Amino acid sequence: MMSVSHVEQCLKHILEERANLLAHETGCIQRQRKFSGADLLQTLVFGWLSHPDASLETLASVATLREVEVTDTAIHKRFTPACAQFLHAILEEMTSVIVEADREVPLELVSRFEAIVLEDSSTVALPA
């Protein structure tokens, strides 16, 4: 079974190192000026996580948490097909981090239900 601390390390690696690499590979970040791949990813993810209807101005203020001073226009210009490919690649990497159960659940037990919903209230510390 994968521990929560191992999942945390995997997610931190994706949010930092892999984000920078994938941003360059997808063409989302061609040359780094203000935004790195990690800056852009964390601005969007944490901005929309705390404010699902966040405006571009709100996202620009979230970027300042990573000490990146950008305008709302700069963020708007990032929404390109390459950015969509970048976010898709990140999503694929994130979904590859799997938490496994200690033991298998018998299929006949699960097949009785129309849906099974799992909720988790654990917290994972992210980089500053």
pTM of the model: 0.72
Question: What is the residue extent of each domain of the chain?
Answer: 4-110
Decide if pLDDT at 127 tops 90: no
Average pLDDT, integer, range 29-56: 89
Torsion of CA 55, 59, 64, 65, to 10 degrees: 120
Q: What is the pLDDT of residue 19?
A: 94
Q: Indicate the range of 5-9, 18-22, 47-51, 87-91 predicted with least confidence.
A: 5-9
Q: What is the pLDDT of residue 98?
A: 66
Q: How far apart are CA 100 and CA 104, in angstroms?
A: 9
Determine contact, residues 53/117, Cβ cutoff 8 Å. no
Please classify residue 115 by burial: count the beta carbons closer than 10 Å to its beta carbon, then call 0-12 exposed, 13-18 middle and 19+ buried: exposed
